[in-house]
Amino acid sequence: MKLIGVNNSPYHRRTAISLTLLGVPFEVQTLSPFMHSEALSQINPMMKVPTLVCDSGEQIMDSSLIIQYAESTLTDGKSLWSADTAIRQREYRAASLALAALEKCLQIVYETRLRPADVRHLPWLQRLETQLQAGLGELDRLVDSQPEVVASEYSQATITAAIAGGFARTTVPASISDLKTPALAALSARMEATPVFQQFAP
């Protein structure tokens, strides 16, 4: 199988890390929708990353669906979610907050780096920043008050929360300059020091 994307995409990165921790063999084909649009369009006309190209030739897009496919089809019952339903519910909340924050990060990037300055809509940008700050703030409180949710390095909640915290700080620092998220920052630092995070460093 081939996983197509680039490590500076947080969605590609969480997918590559997750597949590795699940023990699923795959080859990375590094293609960016911005730098390699022509080559990527030959594989996936929508130019969306990550894209998983299965051995059958079928393609799956969306990081969460790729990971779900891997867990349900390509492993012997392995999962990056807790078997305890109460803990899993909290893991889902952490991961959903992290994914929502990542979405807002990318919308801010598109608004500030791709849209010409003379057609930017400041109220929209301010709304995105408010949403991002709210999401990261809530995620930080969850990490601080429920450390068991992100205790394991083999947890989807841990992986996604760590990536979201680090991505926001490095990609849109001006949008969250007044936001204090010490618990989330510590989690990101802890996970960035692990071999699998370093293997797929941006």
For the stretch 20-55, pLDDT in tens is 999 999 999 999 998 999 999 999 899 999 999 999
pLDDT score of 91: 98
47 three-class SS: coil
What is the C-alpha separation between 184 and 115, in angstroms, rounded?
30
Other CB atoms within a 10 A radius of the CB of residue 111 amount to 16
Residue with tokens 């919308």: 107
Residue with tokens 């992100």: 150
E-strand ranges in 7-162 read 27-30, 51-53, 59-61
5 three-class SS: strand
Q: What is the pTM of this model?
A: 0.96
Other CB atoms within a 10 A radius of the CB of residue 42 amount to 11
pLDDT score of 71: 97
**Mean pLDDT confidence for 101-115:** 97
At residue 168, what is the residue type? A
- Biggest CA pair distance of the chain: 54
Domains located in the chain, CATH noted: 2-74 (3.40.30.10), 85-194 (1.20.1050.10)
